[in-house]
């Protein structure tokens, strides 16, 4: 429930639970259930492979 009322999400390196929360936040933004939210991902080396996968393989396009 706190995700819905947050202004920003800060994601640090973690495990499966952290990834679950990250993708939940991304899904809410993509489906426009929340707006004006910033997502900050901390840990460039840790998250680089995941971010490349998201950019190159997933359809993360804005709605027209």
Q: Of 50, 56, 55, whose CA–CA distance to 19 is shortest? A: 50
Beta strand segments in 12-63, E = 38-41
The whole-angstrom separation of Cα 31 and Cα 18 is 20
Q: What does the pLDDT look like over 17-44, one tens digit per residue?
A: 999 999 998 888 888 888 889 999 999 8
The answer to whether the predicted template modeling score (pTM) of the entire model surpasses 0.85 is no
Q: How far apart are CA 33 and CA 25, in angstroms?
A: 10
What pLDDT score was predicted for residue 64? Answer: 44
Q: How do residues 3-16 score in pLDDT, each as one tens digit?
A: 777 889 999 999 99
CA 51 to chain centre: 10
Is the pLDDT at 63 greater than 60? The verdict is no
């Amino acid at each position: 429930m706190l995700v819905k009322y947050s202004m920003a999400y800060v994601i640090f390196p973690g495990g499966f639970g952290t990834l679950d929360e990250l993708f939940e936040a991304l899904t809410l933004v993509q489906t426009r259930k929340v707006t004006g939210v910033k997502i900050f991902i901390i840990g460039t080396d840790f998250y680089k492979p995941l971010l490349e996968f998201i950019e190159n393989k997933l359809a993360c396009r804005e709605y027209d």
